[in-house]
């Protein structure tokens, strides 16, 4: 090679951009990882778990309500029965009172007079269809006679036993048992449970329907999240692969003619290109790390930020660095302070201005506005350029989203970082409808 003919021509001459590289280039070119292989998705059972959880929670709640209501009703009926037993017991023990009859007893009441051995001497009942009273031994009679309150006798009666001592020596000591059947009370509790069970069926059906819908939505959101993650990883891998390929090619080119002064300009330019690509990779990795930190909700360095001064600095920097893209600054009167991270908020405004610059032709005017609306600080960036294609509007703030016809340099992470920073500050960013150019609007909560 007689002289330095330009880096692009020397790269093509060396064969690094050809379809088949020479053997020595293949020997030194590092093998780059291939595209990620999409693994088959296992059946997602998160929706079934959600439905199961809500069903179990609903059944447990309904069961607890039913048990509590049944217990409350049973307790109320038992207290009422005990009051009636105590009243009839006083009447049965009164020597001056006439013998009990069906008219003076309730239809569920039973009065028994027993001797010391537990044999029935007299029987008085309010109804003929009362169930049989369980037999009592002398020991049990004595035990029950010591109790001051009625007790349960099997599943059908509650009763109170009273020990009567007679002065007449010809008659043995006797016991009076005042009982009342609890069959009607038990049936009332059972009917309550049946009514509650029937009433719970529509609620259970509605909960099942809602849980199934919630489960399906969770499955859709999870699959959408997995799809976006795969797209993100594929896009990140593609964006990192490009500079790696370029670095690999220029690194091999820098090795050509080692020690020959004629190749020194080419090597220096190749090293410069390598440094440029390394810087591009470093910037891309920093942006990916920032997106991850914001997505994980890592804390910001919060302080009092004057958005007016921040916008002045950002507009001044944009004018100085890119004089072919005029920037107009409009500040509404009033206070424009927020509580936020000044570095990230400056990055938000700078990214919006940079986005307007790289996607519009030279001479396009960009307007940066700042004001307050409904308790929010509003930052607006508008330009009179070609605007945003309609097909990109819905995905504009997703990572690595760029128009197919755009020739602007960049990673496609600028607007996704804007959205992440705004969300981390409790705000929002949106692309507003515009007749000409693009109109971005950021709303940040004003201090209380």
* 447 and 377 Cβ atoms separated by less than 8 Å: no
E strands, 165-313, are 174-181, 303-306
DSSP 394: G
List the beta bridge partners of residue 365. Answer: none
How far is CA 307 from its chain centroid?
33
Whether the pLDDT of residue 77 is over 50: the answer is: yes
Indicate the length of the chain as a whole number: 448
What is d(CA 198, CA 297) in angstroms, rounded to the nearest whole number? 47
User: How far apart are the C-alpha atoms of 174 and 201, rounded to whole Å?
Assistant: 54
Q: Where are any strands of DSSP class E within 118-258?
A: 120-125, 151-153, 157-164, 174-181
CA separation, residue 349 to residues 58, 252, 399, 420 (Å): 49, 40, 18, 13
Cα separation, 443 vs 432, whole angstroms? 12
Is the pTM of the predicted complex or chain greater than 0.85?
no
What structural domains does the chain harbor?
Answer: 60-189 (3.30.450), 303-445 (3.30.565.10)
Q: Largest Cα–Cα distance in the chain?
A: 149
Write the pLDDT tens digit of every residue in 113-146: 888 888 888 888 888 888 889 888 889 988 998 8
Look-up: residue for tokens 């037999």?
135
User: Helices 46-93 & 183-255, crossing angle to 10 degrees?
Assistant: 160
Please state whether beta strands 157-164 and 366-373 pair in parallel, antiparallel, or not at all (unpaired).
unpaired
Give the mean pLDDT of the chain.
79
Token couple for 422: 């705004």
Of 149, 204, 146, 138, residue with least CA distance to 172: 138
Phi-psi region of 148 (alpha: psi -120 to 50; beta: other; left: phi over 0): alpha
Percent of residues, the chain, with pLDDT higher than 90 = 24
Which pLDDT does position 316 carry in this prediction? 94
Residue 29 has pLDDT above 70, yes or no: no
Pull the structure tokens for residue 16. 């690094």
- The pairing of strands 327-331 and 366-373 is parallel
326-345: per-residue pLDDT in tens? 999 999 999 999 999 999 99
User: Does the pLDDT value for residue 42 go beyond 60?
Assistant: no
Whether the predicted pLDDT of 407 surpasses 80: no
Burial class (CB in 10 A: 0-12, 13-18, 19+), 381: buried
Radius of gyration of the chain (CA): 44
Is the CB of residue 214 less than 8 Å from the CB of residue 58? Answer: no
Query: Which element (helix H / strand E) includes 113?
Result: strand 109-114
CB under 8 A, 24+ apart: contacts of 149-152: 149/82, 150/81, 150/82, 150/85, 150/86, 152/182
How buried is residue 279: exposed, middle or buried, by Cβ count under 10 Å (0-12/13-18/19+)? exposed
């Amino acid at each position: 090679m007689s002289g330095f003919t330009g880096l692009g021509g020397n790269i093509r001459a060396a064969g690094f951009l050809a379809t088949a590289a020479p053997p020595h280039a293949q020997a030194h070119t590092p093998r780059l990882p291939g595209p990620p292989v999409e693994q088959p998705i296992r059946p997602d059972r998160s929706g079934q778990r959600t439905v199961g959880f809500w069903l179990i929670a609903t059944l447990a709640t309904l069961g607890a309500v039913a048990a509590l209501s049944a217990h409350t009703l049973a307790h109320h009926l038992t207290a009422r029965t005990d009051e009636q037993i105590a009243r009839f017991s006083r009447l049965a023990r009164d020597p001056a009172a006439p013998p009990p009859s069906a008219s003076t007893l309730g239809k569920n009441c039973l009065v028994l007079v027993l001797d010391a051995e537990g044999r029935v001497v007299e029987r008085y009942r309010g109804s003929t269809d009362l169930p049989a009273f369980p037999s009592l031994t002398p020991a049990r009679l004595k035990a029950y006679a010591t109790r001051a309150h009625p007790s349960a006798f099997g599943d059908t009666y509650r009763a109170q036993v009273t020990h009567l001592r007679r002065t007449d020596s010809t008659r043995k000591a006797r016991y009076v048992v005042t009982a009342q059947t609890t069959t009607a009370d038990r049936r009332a509790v059972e009917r309550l449970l049946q009514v509650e069970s029937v009433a719970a069926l529509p609620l259970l059906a509605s909960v099942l329907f809602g849980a199934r819908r919630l489960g399906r939505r969770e499955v859709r959101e999870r699959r959408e999240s997995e799809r976006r993650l795969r797209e993100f990883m594929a896009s990140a891998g593609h964006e990192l692969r490009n500079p790696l390929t370029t670095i690999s090619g220029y690194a091999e080119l820098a090795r050509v003619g080692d020690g020959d002064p004629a190749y020194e300009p080419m090597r220096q330019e190749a090293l410069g290109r390598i440094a440029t690509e390394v810087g591009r990779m470093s910037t891309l990795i920093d942006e990916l790390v920032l997106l991850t930190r914001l997505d994980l909700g890592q804390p910001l360095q919060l302080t009092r930020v004057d958005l007016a001064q921040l916008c002045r600095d950002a507009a001044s920097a944009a004018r100085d660095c890119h004089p072919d893209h005029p920037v107009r600054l409009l500040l509404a009167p009033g206070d424009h302070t927020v509580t936020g991270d000044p570095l990230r908020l400056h990055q938000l405004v700078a990214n919006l201005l940079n986005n307007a610059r790289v996607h519009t032709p030279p001479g396009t005017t960009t307007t940066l506005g700042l004001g307050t609306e409904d308790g929010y600080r509003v930052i607006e960036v508008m330009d009179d350029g070609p605007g945003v294609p309609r097909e990109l509007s819905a995905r504009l703030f997703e990572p690595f989203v760029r128009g197919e016809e755009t020739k602007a340099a960049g990673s496609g992470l600028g607007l996704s970082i804007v959205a992440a920073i705004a969300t981390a500050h409790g705000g929002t960013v949106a692309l507003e409808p515009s007749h000409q150019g693009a109109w971005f609007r950021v709303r940040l909560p004003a201090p209380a």
